[in-house]
Amino acid sequence: MTDESLLAELGRNPVVPIGEEDLARLLSEGEILREESTAMAGPMRLLAWNQRLLFQEETPERVILLRQMASKEAADELVASRLATYERMWDGCGCHIDYFGENRS
């Protein structure tokens, strides 16, 4: 995916699935501001790329997802929410993460 097409997708959709090659490129071109292990899915990352703030995560099915964030504070809130949910999942709460529906800011 080109930079232009990725930016267009991020402008149209709150959550954009990307491929491994796209992720590798973003990681090499951007700056990782924060990275957290989920222990259940892939790592969560906050990236600065192309003058954008991006949140990257993986589903347990290994689908790589990207969303543009409005601010670092919003991204930190999303990370905290995800980590709390993963912690409850370890405790057997029966809860799950709606990767495509929640925290779209």
| Contact predicate 66/75, CB 8 Å | no
pTM of the complete model: 0.86
**pLDDT over 50 at 104, yes or no:** no
| Contact predicate 42/56, CB 8 Å | no
Q: Which H/E stretch holds residue 65?
A: strand 64-68
Q: Give residue 102's pLDDT band: very low, low, confident or very high (50, 70, 90).
A: low
The pLDDT score that the predictor gives to residue 84 is 87
Mean pLDDT, residues 88-96 = 76
Mean pLDDT, residues 90-102 = 75
Kindly report, residue by residue over 32-59, the tens digit of the pLDDT: 999 998 877 889 999 999 999 999 999 9
